[in-house]
Amino acid sequence: MGNKTRKSAGFDEWRSSRTVVACGLMMLALFCQAAAQSESTSLEIYLPRETMIDNETPTLGEVSIIRGEETLVAKAGAIALGRFSVPGQELIIDRSTVLSRLACSEIPASKVTLIGAQTIRIKQRHQVIKGSQFVKTALLFLKKNPPYDSICEFNPLRVPKEVVVPWARAGKDIKLSPCLVKTGVRGRAKIRVVVLSVGKEIGVRDVSFRLKYRCRRVVTRVDIKRGAVIAPDNVRVEKISSNYPEPANWTVPFGLVAKRQLRPNTVIRPNMVGPVEPQLLLRRNQNVVIRLEGLGLLVTAIGKTMQDGRVGKYIRVRNVDSQRIILARVNEDGSVEPAF
């Protein structure tokens, strides 16, 4: 009786321990299954401290490393994180923003594990066209297409700001197209340089220049008295650069006379010289022949001059017979001709 009782108790104990092992194995299997299921439905996202992209709209897949179930990785990778509004801009994305964007795409934070940096600094690749490059392009164009042939210097007034072109638009097709812009300001030239990409305008800069012109001037060699004739022996012609172009009708004033005394090394201005005065033929109160000729007729009369007269000049003459005062032109032969 005692042996039967001990056998029965041992059997129950063995059955109980077997049940415990079975339950333990079942729980372990369920845990492994849950862990495997949990691993297959979760994401691990590595966030770098800084990254650079080509596009204007960064996505989570471009700026991070995502591991997990393939479909979920693709869904998370397509999530947009913002947009670059101006070239050279930086976007700062923190972990809370990433989780918020994931939640909006129906990926809860409970399924996401973030590792790496706390924030991502996102930059956009770009090409910089420096201001000096615009000046160089404008200068080459201006030298090939000068508004005046006498220009000898082109001095840029300032260097324009650089133009930042996003990498998505930049490339071998970037071209700088210069053209001349009218300013209405003497001694100035403005060149407009347009930045083109695939034939489209993506930027523009203006470059202004101060111009210098090749000019001539006449300088006295010696002391020139009033009334003296300007000649090669008393003046010299010098070449200079000027802020203004030389007048189209400029000539060396040889043959003209000085209107006043000119000291040595004086730059002769137009108002300092003039033509040689005609010869004085008539004196005041001198008798003169008044001639009127036309249509084959010649009419003469005697007159008296009321002022001195030079060839080609007009003077007042009194008709001796009629006492009438007329305006007459002095001829080379000493006669006068009425002006009507």
Q: Which residues contact 182 (CB under 8 A, 6 or more apart)?
A: 190
For the chain, how many residues are written?
340
Does 135 share its domain with 204? yes
Same domain as 218, residue 206: no
Using DSSP, state whether 197 is helix, strand or coil: strand
Q: At CA 123, angle to CA 117 and CA 128, rounded to 5? A: 155
- Residue 264 and residue 293 share a domain: no
Amino acid residing at 291: R
| 132, 204: one domain | yes
29 domain residue, yes or no: no
- Tell me how far CA of residue 6 lies from CA of 2, 3, 9, 18, 111, in angstroms: 6, 5, 5, 18, 54
Compute the distance between CA of residue 148 and CA of residue 215 in angstroms, rounded to an integer.
Answer: 12
Q: What is the residue-level pLDDT of the chain in tens, covering all 340 positions?
A: 444 444 454 545 545 555 544 544 555 554 444 444 444 458 999 999 999 887 788 999 989 999 998 888 999 999 999 888 776 788 999 999 999 999 999 999 888 999 999 999 998 887 889 999 999 999 999 999 998 889 999 999 999 999 888 766 655 578 899 999 988 888 899 999 999 887 888 889 999 999 999 999 999 999 999 989 999 999 999 999 999 889 888 999 999 999 999 999 999 999 999 988 777 889 999 999 999 887 778 889 999 999 999 988 999 999 999 999 999 999 988 999 998 7
Please identify, among 73, 108, 124, the residue that sits at the C-terminal boundary of a domain: 124
CA-wise closest residue to 266 among 307, 301, 235? 235
In a domain, 3, yes or no: no
Strand, helix or coil for residue 44: strand
Domain endpoint, select from 259, 274, 289:
274
Q: Considering 231, 253, 274, which residue would you say is the last residue of a domain? A: 274
Using DSSP's 3-state secondary structure scheme, residue 330 falls into strand
Spatial distance between the Cα atoms of 133 and 164, rounded to a whole number of angstroms: 13
* Separation between Cα atoms, residue 186 and residue 200, nearest integer Å: 33
Do 262 and 332 lie in one domain? The reply is: no
Number of domains the chain is built from:
4
Could you give the CA distance from residue 220 to residue 235 in angstroms, rounded to a whole number? 4
Q: Is residue 5 part of a domain?
A: no
Domain extent for 330: 280-338
Residues 261 and 312 placed together within one structural domain of the fold? no
Do 146 and 219 fall within a single domain?
no
Which amino acid appears at position 265 of this protein?
A: N
Helix (H, G, I), strand (E, B) or coil at 161: coil
Pair 88, 55 in one domain: yes
Domain presence at residue 13: no
Inside any domain, residue 16: no
Domain holding 147: CATH number?
Answer: 3.10.129
- Rounded Cα distance, 59 and 105, in Å: 13
Output the pTM of the full model: 0.55
